[in-house]
Structure 1
Amino acid sequence: MLLRSARFPALALAMALAGCASQPRPAAQAKPLPDGLRADVAVLETTDLHSNILSYDYYKQKVDPTLGFERTVTLIRKARSQFTNSFLFDAGDTIQGSVLADYQAQVQKIDCGQELAIYRSMDAIGYDGGTIGNHEFNYGLPYLSQVTGTPMNVDGAGQHPCAGPHYPLVLANVNSARDGKPIFKPWTMIERKVAAYTPDGSQLSVPLKIAIIGFTPPPIMQWDKQNLEGKVTVTGVVEAARKYLPEIQAQHPDLVIAILHGGMNDAPYTPDMENGGWYLAGVPGIDVLLMGHEHTDFPGPRFAHLQDVDDQHGFVRGVPAVMGGFFGKDLGVIRLALVRQQNHWTIDKGKTFSQVWPICPPVIKDGKPSVSASNCVQADPQIKLVVGKLQQSAIDYVNTPIGQSTLRMSSYFADEGDMSALAPVNAAQIDYVRQELPSAHPELAKTPVLGSAAAFRTGFGGPDDYTDVQPGPLTLRSAADLYFYPNTLTAVKIDGSGLKAWLEQSARRFNQIDPHATGEQQLINEKYVGYNFDQIQGGIAYTIDVSKPAGQRIEKLTYRGKRVIPGETFVVVTNNYRASGGGHFPGLDGNNVVLAAPDGTREILAHWLQQHPSLSSQDLPATSWHFARLKTRGPVVFTSASDKQAVAETDGLHNVKQIRDDGDGTAVYSIDLSH
């Protein structure tokens, strides 16, 4: 061994060459920690922040106290004051999802030395680690490499670190296609002194080693195919965990925390499973599970049907777990009760539990919980100081005028047949492809081109989570409201059978209605998300019979008045997410793409609106569908924002009636399917 000494290099070298037996004394062994020692450790989690830093609705241009990281920070400070020992992690979908995020990624692009606004905000409160969600890949790998400060061996990515978050990001299941190595560190170790207590009540400061390992949904290879194909490969979450856990265990951690940007599904496991949390919890060596992606809470009733899941105390197959909502609406909290036994820490499951703390605790009204803005926690003032100037620049940008409209375009009743917010998207898509297709595919120049769009904002996030573009001036904000995500435009070639299958899949948005039932029946299948209810326009017409089982509901499908036959050819314009398999639509797997535009759908829409400076109904394709007539004994009902019946009337839905106000900004409506 060659000894090196800064003060006496010659002496050290002489000792080594002479084979001197004198060696540095080994460090004294730390005194073993006593059995029975206890420590309470809070594991705090944010997830799916989607760059909602401030409590602000960019589309309605007003403060929205029901969301925003600046209010989550208030809960983080509360938790840190309540728990002597705490760690804070983020489970991904962090850098995309708001006007501010798009502004930094696509308009006023940040340089290598600037830290992204959401990361600066998170650094202001201090995080211990995080992982990468699927939406982190939306802006491409070079951007992701830059803003995370992570050099990647992939096309276009920088080889020198840029400014990134001041906490480690881990990701175990995405590898470079060049060398097979992970593009992020798959795992890392965090060491911290924590307060612990002996059985007699004495306090000790003891070391705690926590390993964190991260995972993203494997279907990113479909959802962001144009950004990832040929550049990275993805493995299943269970396979990745089993690969790295042996080397983690070799470092003797006290706890292993899996940070999964995914939820839970107990269907048979496959390596491309989107929500593999249930199976990940079953991998030996995982002590704690943090989840996200599904935009919901755990513990919570949504997962009560899963085997070996305690939806009250927050355990998945015996592993403490939490999923902390989305948009900064909640903070996930796991209270780990640790006890020292046989020279290692164990989790006392009888005293361990998980909770989701909302920034707006529900109030009970008429026996039901509801959210009141007046009951939300205050925003932490520090966060606005971090991003205030940038926020104003983004607001100024999206208020750039692009035209006028005589129409109100809203999604309050998009599920019931009001296509006012979808028609301009479909019109813009169809025009774009009709111009580009003849040069790209001359053989398809005369093929019918249809547009497919879904309402992205249908109330999932609360009573303000709807598109609503009022008549009058149109701005870039209007285009962003009409098209929420930064998808790119993609066109696919299908036949008549494929078109019907596409529409049948979309129609799963509805429950099957029993015409003989006398009680209320819910029209909307809440398990089928609104952004997967594609509505297709461009000369076709069809009806949806909700009395029929899913898969048998599309009737009277015609194109320009003639029945669509199975072998008839169409080009349907959609987005890269759907065309690559997102939503699991039959026949859509990326293999029938005929045009993959370099342009974002939102930008295409904004350009189209500029070309129609006085937008009217004559510029838009006709409404393409309605419900098949159905006489029901009892009412068929659905929920939307309150006091919007006049909007339904104006847009031709004369069979919709508000029947009761929920008092939280939403209302229950009935729809008469016999008219």
Structure 2
Amino acid sequence: MLIKPVKFICFLIALGGCMTKLATADVIKLRVLATSDIHANMMDYDYYRLEPTEKFGLTRTASLIKQARLETENTVLIDNGDLIQGSPLGDYIASKGLTDEELHPVMLAMNSLDYTVATLGNHEFNYGLPFLNQVLKGANFPYVNANILDAQTNAPYFTPYTIIPTPVKTIKGDTVTLNIGYIGFIAPKITIWDKQHLDGKVVTEDIITSAKKWVPKMKAQGADLIIAINHSGIDASGYVNGMENAGFYLSEVPNIDAIITGHSHSVFPSSKFDGLPHVDINNGLINGTPTVMPGFWGDHLGVIDITLDNQNGNWSVVQAHAKSRPIFDATSKSALVEADIELINLLSTAHDATQHYVNQPIGKSKNNLYGYLALIQDSPTIQIVNQAQITYVQNVLDKDGSLEKLPILSAAAPFKAGGRDSYAVSYTEVDKGELTYRNAADLYLYPNTLTVVKITGEEVQQWLECSAGQFNQIDIENDNPQELINFNDFRSYNFDVIDGVSYEIDITQPARYDGDCNLINPDVSRIVNLTFEGKPIVKSDLFYVVTNNYRGFGGKFAGTGSDKVVIAAPDENRAILASYITEVSALEGQIDIQADNNWRLRPIVSDKTLDIRFGTAGHDKAHNYIKSGAKVNLISLKRDPEGIEIYRLDLQSKK
């Protein structure tokens, strides 16, 4: 049974409780500091490259936190979830487990930084509820979530909100108590993404529905200020019940005074959101509500400055401004802060142990496995994952004779493929030679579990059509520069490559689906010449497709959803990959992985000389690999200030 890690603070207030209001008019300036999507990146250290970094890590963010606190009298510090998973440090702690007396390193760090309150992210559930509960017991601050419900009782599974009486200084220097309410929300799809851990234990509620239910209660109990800690992103495309990214519509809920968002690994306010309705980028407001999304991996600190005025005994927000402060300047390529020495020392034991953990050998590779070109051609970094998944299923499928004998395909996507919202170094890079656990984690970033779905040939086609949404449409009559990859609206982890079939992608056609697999152009198709064993696939053909639990149970891509799953394995895709490397290395001395080039971008016929642009890692290792390994003509144009090398891709002639 889950131990509830937090209790309501409201009823503990002496001398009148939460309903007490100040009678004297005055002004308070409050600063709200926020982190989100740290993903266990506590140290400013890249465990995949085995080298320090200036671009991420809570030890760097901690310096921003301390600076921001020195600048103003009144501060609170909030974490928006996705904290315990996402780096080798997180995997190491989960693999060894925690004793009853042991604190998770993330809690050591958070406690030392004196966090005020936090909420849960979807990746908090990747290691199961018992482990999560053990982690949360070590927090010296409350955790809140309102839209995760007990599957049996439909009551809140965690404490939905808390109201904390906070001593603050007015601008006149008086000390008063401000009752600050905090309420947490999470993307409702956690019950799909972590079905194996959550099925039958919890259900989720729509974020907006939950907010409208609980926020009035918080106000009635005396909250002077209400802050929504929302582990979901910002999507203004139209409200849908149960939507994943509800931050925009949360800003419309009455009495929510400030919002922390996250989950989508973006930065708000930023130019990326310019043009959205009712969004003030300059002041960080959505529908007039101050909102911040502080990036990921600790690369930004969210800062919301709020001015409250007390009139007739009631505090009200009269001015607010939000921004995200970076730890690194991408233009000058320089660190904006140094790492916090106290936090480095506190985490040194876990850091040293993690380095030992990731350096455990698992096998050898004959070839370099680099993901610099994974978005434009078949990549060995995807090939090895698909080969491992197919081999696993071939060994375990139909042991009891209950399943049909069908062709086995496998789907995998590049998790680290760069992009303007990422880093020029954020690519899978596995050098040939001895392989260690860190290499397996580099190839497969998340602790997903393997699933198998049974789908039709038509669903294979539509699955790939959704994947092909990552490309911008290329206009064959336009000889001006055209960007190939749609980094703004499409995430590379949705660019599934399906091995076992062959196909081409026609990027001169508009996308059939948007980045969320919503049908937008029903009369077009980008996937052409789709074949299996040399024969065209027809709609009625049947296949097994090996994938992960997020995709298999997700229902977003054609052919996925609970009703399509025929195998839900207990084993993690990453562990399956590591075992495959070990087994093949033991038998053959090393793995020899090369892309089989089962897909390609279709050549373009045009009377004009097209200028199709593609950006990837801007360093010599990448440049040399691309020079020898590109299957299409790529002409280097420049390396821009963000460390990305820009190429012109020639699809009008074959290499």
TM-score computed with the length of structure 2 as normaliser? 0.91
Q: CA deviation at 1:658?
A: 1.6
| Maintained 8 Å contact 1:236/1:270 | no
1:420 corresponds to: 380
Query: Does 2:286 correspond to 1:316?
Result: yes
Task: Tell me, in whole angstroms, the C-alpha distance in 2 between the residues paired with 1:31 and 1:302.
Answer: 40
Query: Does 2:61 correspond to 1:93?
Result: no
Query: Does 2:243 correspond to 1:276?
Result: no
Q: CA deviation at 1:131?
A: 0.5
1:298 corresponds to: 268
2:53 corresponds to: 64
Q: CA deviation at 1:669?
A: 1.1
Task: Tell me, in whole angstroms, the C-alpha distance in 1 between the residues paired with 2:599 and 2:627.
Answer: 17
| Distance verdict in 2 for CA 1:371–1:146, change over 3 Å | farther
Letter of the aligned partner of 1:376 in structure 2? L
Query: Does 2:441 correspond to 1:480?
Result: yes
| Maintained 8 Å contact 2:373/2:630 | no
Show the 5 A alignment for 1:497-576.
Answer: 497-526=458-487, 527-538=489-500, 540-551=501-512, 552-576=525-549
2:325 corresponds to: 357
| Distance verdict in 2 for CA 1:440–1:645, change over 3 Å | farther
Unaligned stretches of 5+ residues in structure 2: 1-14, 513-524
> What do the CA deviations read for 1:393-420 (whole angstroms, capped 9, x no partner)?
1111111112211111111100110411
Q: Structure 1 residues 521-530 or 458-467, which shifts more?
A: 458-467
Corresponding residue SS for 1:79: helix
Query: Does 2:433 correspond to 1:433?
Result: no
2:629 corresponds to: 651
| Distance verdict in 2 for CA 1:504–1:380, change over 3 Å | same
Letter of the aligned partner of 1:342 in structure 2? N
1:187 corresponds to: 161
Show the 5 A alignment for 1:157-306.
Answer: 164-197=138-171, 202-306=172-276
Corresponding residue SS for 1:492: strand
Q: CA deviation at 1:616?
A: 6.8
| Distance verdict in 2 for CA 1:615–1:594, change over 3 Å | farther
Query: Does 2:598 correspond to 1:627?
Result: no
Corresponding residue SS for 1:612: helix
Letter of the aligned partner of 2:114 in structure 1? G
Corresponding residue SS for 2:153: coil
In structure 1, which of residues 88, 96, 104 is the aligned counterpart of residue 93 of structure 2?
104
> What do the CA deviations read for 1:36-63 (whole angstroms, capped 9, x no partner)?
x111110111111111000111111000
Q: CA deviation at 1:266?
A: 2.1
Q: CA deviation at 1:142?
A: 1.4
Q: CA deviation at 1:665?
A: 2.5
> What do the CA deviations read for 1:327-358 (whole angstroms, capped 9, x no partner)?
00010001101111222111113xx2111111
1:640 corresponds to: 616
In structure 1, which of residues 400, 409, 414 is the aligned counterpart of residue 360 of structure 2?
400
Corresponding residue SS for 1:427: helix
Task: Tell me, in whole angstroms, the C-alpha distance in 2 between the residues paired with 1:485 and 1:30.
Answer: 47
| Maintained 8 Å contact 1:406/1:615 | no
Q: CA deviation at 1:615?
A: 7.1
Task: Tell me, in whole angstroms, the C-alpha distance in 1 between the residues paired with 2:294 and 2:362.
Answer: 38
| Distance verdict in 2 for CA 1:339–1:572, change over 3 Å | same
> What do the CA deviations read for 1:484-530 (whole angstroms, capped 9, x no partner)?
11111111111110100111110001000011111100000111110
Task: Tell me, in whole angstroms, the C-alpha distance in 1 between the residues paired with 2:400 and 2:287.
Answer: 52
2:561 corresponds to: 589
Query: Does 2:300 correspond to 1:330?
Result: yes
Corresponding residue SS for 2:417: coil
Q: Structure 1 residues 640-649 or 487-496, which shifts more?
A: 640-649
Corresponding residue SS for 1:42: strand
1:119 corresponds to: 107
1:135 corresponds to: 123
| Maintained 8 Å contact 2:179/2:224 | yes
Identity %: 39
Letter of the aligned partner of 1:181 in structure 2? A
Q: CA deviation at 1:646?
A: 2.5
Q: CA deviation at 1:620?
A: 5.7
| Distance verdict in 2 for CA 1:433–1:423, change over 3 Å | same
Letter of the aligned partner of 1:543 in structure 2? E
Letter of the aligned partner of 1:505 in structure 2? C
Q: CA deviation at 1:482?
A: 0.7
Q: CA deviation at 1:554?
A: 0.5
> What do the CA deviations read for 1:369-407 (whole angstroms, capped 9, x no partner)?
x251x3331000111111111111111111111221111
> What do the CA deviations read for 1:405-442 (whole angstroms, capped 9, x no partner)?
11111111001104111111100000111111121554
Letter of the aligned partner of 2:460 in structure 1? L
Q: CA deviation at 1:230?
A: 1.2
Task: Tell me, in whole angstroms, the C-alpha distance in 1 between the residues paired with 2:582 and 2:21.
Answer: 73
Corresponding residue SS for 1:244: helix
Task: Tell me, in whole angstroms, the C-alpha distance in 2 between the residues paired with 1:440 and 1:94.
Answer: 40
Q: CA deviation at 1:184?
A: 1.2
| Distance verdict in 2 for CA 1:615–1:336, change over 3 Å | farther
Task: Tell me, in whole angstroms, the C-alpha distance in 1 between the residues paired with 2:418 and 2:22.
Answer: 55
Letter of the aligned partner of 2:417 in structure 1? T
Task: Tell me, in whole angstroms, the C-alpha distance in 1 between the residues paired with 2:433 and 2:417.
Answer: 23
| Maintained 8 Å contact 1:427/1:620 | no
> What do the CA deviations read for 1:565-587 (whole angstroms, capped 9, x no partner)?
111111110000001116x2123
Q: Structure 1 residues 308-317 or 641-650, which shifts more?
A: 641-650
Q: CA deviation at 1:654?
A: 4.4
Task: Tell me, in whole angstroms, the C-alpha distance in 2 between the residues paired with 1:394 and 1:125.
Answer: 22
| Distance verdict in 2 for CA 1:371–1:431, change over 3 Å | farther
Corresponding residue SS for 2:170: strand
> What do the CA deviations read for 1:233-284 (whole angstroms, capped 9, x no partner)?
1101111112222321222111011110012112332331101111111111
Task: Tell me, in whole angstroms, the C-alpha distance in 1 between the residues paired with 2:221 and 2:260.
Answer: 21
Letter of the aligned partner of 1:590 in structure 2? S
| Maintained 8 Å contact 2:363/2:581 | yes
Corresponding residue SS for 2:31: strand
Corresponding residue SS for 2:375: helix
Task: Tell me, in whole angstroms, the C-alpha distance in 1 between the residues paired with 2:402 and 2:151.
Answer: 34
Corresponding residue SS for 2:580: helix
Task: Tell me, in whole angstroms, the C-alpha distance in 2 between the residues paired with 1:524 and 1:659.
Answer: 17
Task: Tell me, in whole angstroms, the C-alpha distance in 1 between the residues paired with 2:230 and 2:16.
Answer: 40
| Maintained 8 Å contact 2:379/2:595 | no
In structure 1, which of residues 138, 144, 149 is the aligned counterpart of residue 132 of structure 2?
144
Query: Between Structure 1 and Structure 2, how many residues are aligned?
Result: 617
Larger Rg: 1
Corresponding residue SS for 1:656: strand
In structure 2, which of residues 22, 26, 29 is the aligned counterpart of residue 40 of structure 1?
29
Letter of the aligned partner of 2:409 in structure 1? L
1:577 corresponds to: 550
Query: Does 2:582 correspond to 1:610?
Result: yes
Letter of the aligned partner of 1:609 in structure 2? I
| Maintained 8 Å contact 1:218/1:271 | no
Letter of the aligned partner of 2:24 in structure 1? P
| Maintained 8 Å contact 2:363/2:590 | no
| Maintained 8 Å contact 1:263/1:276 | yes
| Maintained 8 Å contact 1:177/1:233 | yes
Task: Tell me, in whole angstroms, the C-alpha distance in 2 between the residues paired with 1:553 and 1:477.
Answer: 36
| Distance verdict in 2 for CA 1:485–1:32, change over 3 Å | closer
| Maintained 8 Å contact 1:492/1:573 | yes
Q: Structure 1 residues 600-609 or 415-424, which shifts more?
A: 415-424
Task: Tell me, in whole angstroms, the C-alpha distance in 1 between the residues paired with 2:625 and 2:376.
Answer: 12
Task: Tell me, in whole angstroms, the C-alpha distance in 1 between the residues paired with 2:595 and 2:460.
Answer: 18
Corresponding residue SS for 1:354: strand
| Maintained 8 Å contact 2:97/2:131 | no
Unaligned stretches of 5+ residues in structure 1: 1-24, 150-163, 363-369
